[in-house]
Amino acid sequence: MKFGGTSVADLDRIRHVCSLVKQQVERGDRVAVTVSAMAGETNKLVGWARELAPLHNQPEHDVVVATGEQITAGLLALALSASGTPARSWMGWQIPIRTNSTHGSARIETIDPTELNACFQEGLVAVVAGFQGVTHENRVSTLGRGGSDTSAVAIAAALRADRCDIYTDVDGVYTTDPRIVPRARRLERIAFEEMLEMASLGAKVLQTRSVEIGMLHRVPIRVLSTFEPDGEGTLVCDEEDIVEKKPVTGIAYSRDEAKITLHRIPDKPGVAAAIFGPLADAGVNVDMIVQNVAEDSSKTNLTFTVGRSELNRALEAIEKAAAAIGYRDLTHDTGVAKVSIIGIGMRTHPGVAQTMFRTFAEKGINIEVISTSEIKVSVLIAEEYVELAVRTLHSAFDLEGI
Amino acid sequence: MKFGGTSVADLDRIRHVCSLVKQQVERGDRVAVTVSAMAGETNKLVGWARELAPLHNQPEHDVVVATGEQITAGLLALALSASGTPARSWMGWQIPIRTNSTHGSARIETIDPTELNACFQEGLVAVVAGFQGVTHENRVSTLGRGGSDTSAVAIAAALRADRCDIYTDVDGVYTTDPRIVPRARRLERIAFEEMLEMASLGAKVLQTRSVEIGMLHRVPIRVLSTFEPDGEGTLVCDEEDIVEKKPVTGIAYSRDEAKITLHRIPDKPGVAAAIFGPLADAGVNVDMIVQNVAEDSSKTNLTFTVGRSELNRALEAIEKAAAAIGYRDLTHDTGVAKVSIIGIGMRTHPGVAQTMFRTFAEKGINIEVISTSEIKVSVLIAEEYVELAVRTLHSAFDLEGI
């Protein structure tokens, strides 16, 4: 069971979480609980750290910020013990949850289940501080924002748990954002691969890395609401456990997009390396790429997208490499957004992309860039059309609730 | 260097502490800094823990409360690094500071200096989270209120430091409480033994255990003010380092006293064991004890004192053992206080106790119980006379400032 920051925001909510864990234990299950910091706590700590050291010393930053989860873990263990459900807290270094040394966005390498299993043998609920681990240098590390999801699924995998229940403030994964499409429907099941695309393409229910770990170790993840715990939520599971496969399962969108175009670059081998090498060195993640045929055959245009926060870094990297690339103009546009349709059913239902393009054409929405994979089609459009695009696709692919 | 909670109460004060540490480093010294939680933080955490679990689960309580010092250690390391003084934080489990398993008031057993020395080799200031350690079971422990003093002196001892500077909100150790005697004088030096008596007898400048460790390992402790760091403070040191030995160095008092009297107990062997055995079993610390001769030779009265918070526990223990003890009446009085004169000079200046008793007689202060050691005389008097007693003694023993 994993509870996020809003689920443990104050003592009353911690008591509520305590009662949910207690119920699960009373059903005869062995339970490990992963908790986030109380809502607001992490921001407070991050604020203090930034104010004192704008330059950043990420290892110390982690030392400060990781206390948020430690507090919640201790408090929940206290509440459980006081309510007659023996429990003990675990910090990353105690288990240990071993991570690499990329402080602030560390990656879990191994979790030793020995101590936690011994804890279960003693009849204790294990309450694990999420979001944190310990490096090989024995320093506290944090996994980055939303890292508690990753902690929870990784712990479930290490324990070979039957399931990882992620309690959050929504009651499941929806066909799309209900703020845009009020008739969006809660999915009963979604495949790992689909959830992975949904998460990376903008749906914020689960952290991408947590879905990857669930997929790799085949740990079903259930997303459900802390505040309506009797709901069924959404089960993120193996593809073979999903019977009815519609062509499209869900629609995601992201406004965090910026488009960069290099005009009239030489159309010859090596030019892509000259562009994307410097971008990779600058730590810029390039998403969609399209190369157009230009006026004359020796020159072409190249367009790609990056996250908006990485735009300036990307432009600098390109400008520095201008001589090696040899472009005439460099333009960019932040008034764009990405809309994606996702579904494992695409593999067996041809014509899905065509439906999408026809729908957009009918509404007069111009597609600027297209990117596809086996189970998704993403398009870049002008940002102002996002809501219209999502609503239109939702009904075109028959995703409406009953 | 050790900084208490008021010294690191907010980000501005942490910046100030940072500048004091920086100055010390720039003098060419290798520095380990021990920090408390930001003032108020510990109380907030204790409040949360108590509200969720009034029954207490001390190990989890420690997990929650120890975060306060972790935050300060991380923040100070951040501030130091940002100001060009490379630093890193250390939690109890990282060093490790190994303690016994008495959670909430754990005792430091060993401190391994290897990691801290390696940290100095790298040119880093070591910022240590005070008040905490790790048990042999690898769980977080806390040393109890004021434990950061103990952490600091124990770390200084482990590092064979030249000195342990305790920065606090007063500028040194005074001959007595300046709130009672405005002309009380800051002591330049005080012997470990004297400081130990001062601390146990009510002076709240240093934690008793920290003075014991300083004495045992011969680590001079300097008490000075964070807010007037140019003052000389008071050096707590070996007796032989003090040249001028007055008969009395300081006067301590404590209102946290309760007096219990058992009337007409049998005057025979074994009766003391029948009384103090049950009290020890109930965890009651008995302080002063006096046995009076009663009316007839076979019966006697016995009076002893305990801390006020332990009074009820003491009375219950005695009443349970009533049959075995065989007293006629059990009375108690909380309107009492203890006043003590302390000085290593007493060893060589006879007549100090007599001066004290005569002074009290002249002021009409009745002495209820007396207790002495080689370097102190304590008396129990009615609480209402405390100020008068302290003031009178202060001038009788020539302790006034110039």
pLDDT digits (tens, 9 = 90+) for B120-161: 999 999 999 999 999 999 999 999 777 999 999 999 999 999
How confident is the prediction for chain A on average, in pLDDT? 93
Report chain A residues whose CB lies below 8 A from the CB of B53. 78-79, 81-82
Does residue A365 surpass a pLDDT of 90? yes
Residue after which a domain boundary falls, among A116, A141, A169:
A169
Are the Cβ atoms of B89 and A63 closer than 8 angstroms?
Answer: yes
Least confident of A146-150, A391-395, B387-391: A146-150
Q: Chain A residue closest to B46 (CA)?
A: A75
Going by their DSSP bridges, the two strands B132-134 and B140-142 should be labelled as: antiparallel
Q: Chain B residue closest to A65 (CA)?
A: B71
Closest-CA distance of chain A to residue B158, Å: 21
Are the Cβ atoms of B64 and A79 closer than 8 angstroms?
Answer: no
Does residue A391 surpass a pLDDT of 80? yes
Does residue B3 surpass a pLDDT of 70? yes
The backbone torsions φ and ψ at residue B333, rounded to the nearest 5 degrees and listed phi first, read -150, 125
The owner of tokens 């019977």 is A243
For residue A86, CA distances in Å to A18, A83, A121 come to 11, 8, 12
For residue A327, CA distances in Å to A258, A266, A277 come to 19, 7, 16
- Identify which of A346-350, B178-182, B234-238 has the greatest average pLDDT: B234-238
- Indicate the pLDDT class of residue A8, thresholds 50, 70 and 90: very high
- Indicate the pLDDT class of residue A299, thresholds 50, 70 and 90: confident
Does residue A289 surpass a pLDDT of 70? yes
Q: What three-state secondary structure class fits A320?
A: helix
Is residue B166, in this structure, part of any structural domain at all? Answer: yes
Are the Cβ atoms of A70 and B55 closer than 8 angstroms?
Answer: no
**Model pLDDT for residues A154-186, shown as the tens digit of each residue:** 999 999 999 999 999 889 999 999 999 999 999
Q: What percent of chain A has pLDDT over 70?
A: 98
The question of ipTM being above 0.85 is answered as no
- Indicate the pLDDT class of residue A352, thresholds 50, 70 and 90: very high
B177 and B79 housed in the same domain: yes
Going by their DSSP bridges, the two strands A234-237 and A221-225 should be labelled as: antiparallel
Q: How many CA atoms does the CB half-sphere of A307 hold within 13 Å?
A: 8
Q: What is the DSSP string of A21-34?
A: HHHHHHTT---EEE
Does residue B112 surpass a pLDDT of 70? yes
Would you tell me which residues 12-71 of chain A have a C-beta closer than 8 angstroms to some C-beta of chain B? 14-15, 45, 48-49, 51-55, 57, 59-64, 66-67, 70-71
Would you tell me which residues 76-115 of chain A have a C-beta closer than 8 angstroms to some C-beta of chain B? 77-79, 81-82, 88-89, 91, 93-94
Does residue B297 surpass a pLDDT of 80? no
Are A199 and A145 a contacting pair, CB within 8 Å? no
Is residue B53, in this structure, part of any structural domain at all? Answer: yes
> For residue A402, what pLDDT is reported?
54
Does residue A401 surpass a pLDDT of 70? no
Count of the separate structural domains present in chain B: 2
Q: Which residue has the higher pLDDT, B86 or B244?
A: B86
Burial of B46 (0-12, 13-18, 19+ CB in 10 A): middle
Least confident of A325-334, B24-33, B50-59: B50-59
CA pair distance A184, A172, nearest whole angstrom: 11
Does residue B25 surpass a pLDDT of 90? yes
CA pair distance B36, B147, nearest whole angstrom: 9
A140 and A24 housed in the same domain: yes
**Model pLDDT for residues A195-224, shown as the tens digit of each residue:** 998 887 766 788 889 999 999 999 999 999
Are A390 and A378 a contacting pair, CB within 8 Å? no
Arithmetic mean of pLDDT, B98-119: 96
Domain of B140, CATH number, reads 3.40.1160.10
> For residue B401, what pLDDT is reported?
67
Is residue A128, in this structure, part of any structural domain at all? Answer: yes
Q: What percent of chain B has pLDDT over 90?
A: 82
A132 and A255 housed in the same domain: no
A128 inside 8 A of chain B by CB: no
Q: What percent of chain A has pLDDT over 90?
A: 81
Strand partners, A7: none
Arithmetic mean of pLDDT, A269-283: 89
The backbone torsions φ and ψ at residue B290, rounded to the nearest 5 degrees and listed phi first, read -140, 140
Are B4 and B32 a contacting pair, CB within 8 Å? no
What's CA A347's distance to the chain center, in Å? Answer: 24
Closest-CA distance of chain A to residue B74, Å: 5
A359 and A268 housed in the same domain: yes
In 10 A of CB B292, how many CB atoms? 10
> For residue B40, what pLDDT is reported?
93
Is residue A68, in this structure, part of any structural domain at all? Answer: yes
Is residue A190, in this structure, part of any structural domain at all? Answer: no
Q: Which residue has the higher pLDDT, B313 or A297?
A: B313
Strand partners, B201: none
Is residue A62, in this structure, part of any structural domain at all? Answer: yes
B142 and B261 housed in the same domain: no
CA pair distance A285, A268, nearest whole angstrom: 24
Q: What percent of chain B has pLDDT over 70?
A: 98
Q: Chain A residue closest to B49 (CA)?
A: A75
> For residue B290, what pLDDT is reported?
87
A164 and A299 housed in the same domain: no
Is residue A178, in this structure, part of any structural domain at all? Answer: no
Residue after which a domain boundary falls, among B223, B243, B263:
B243
Domain of B288, CATH number, reads 3.30.2130.10
Does residue A4 surpass a pLDDT of 70? yes
How confident is the prediction for chain B on average, in pLDDT? 93
Q: Where are the beta strands (DSSP E) in A16-69?
A: 32-35
B128 and B196 housed in the same domain: yes
Is residue B60, in this structure, part of any structural domain at all? Answer: yes
Question: Tokens in use for B392?
Answer: 């009178």
Least confident of B13-27, B42-56, B374-388: B42-56
A164 and A258 housed in the same domain: no
Closest-CA distance of chain B to residue A8, Å: 13
The owner of tokens 């404590």 is B254
What's CA A250's distance to the chain center, in Å? Answer: 15
B228 and B305 housed in the same domain: no
> Which residues constitute the domain of residue A288?
251-396
Are the Cβ atoms of B78 and A53 closer than 8 angstroms?
Answer: yes
B157 and B261 housed in the same domain: no
> For residue B202, what pLDDT is reported?
65
Residue after which a domain boundary falls, among A134, A169, A204:
A169
CA pair distance A129, A211, nearest whole angstrom: 19
Does residue B55 surpass a pLDDT of 70? yes
> For residue B299, what pLDDT is reported?
85
CA pair distance A244, B158, nearest whole angstrom: 67
CA pair distance A74, B49, nearest whole angstrom: 8
The owner of tokens 């005074």 is B174
Question: Tokens in use for B371?
Answer: 């207790």
Question: Tokens in use for B293?
Answer: 């001769």
For residue A101, CA distances in Å to A141, A150, B63, B196 come to 7, 17, 24, 45
CA pair distance A152, A164, nearest whole angstrom: 7
- Indicate the pLDDT class of residue A76, thresholds 50, 70 and 90: very high
CA pair distance A337, A387, nearest whole angstrom: 10
CA pair distance B76, A104, nearest whole angstrom: 18
B93 and B194 housed in the same domain: yes
> For residue B270, what pLDDT is reported?
84
Are A79 and B52 a contacting pair, CB within 8 Å? yes
B7 and B29 housed in the same domain: yes
Q: Chain B residue closest to A49 (CA)?
A: B75
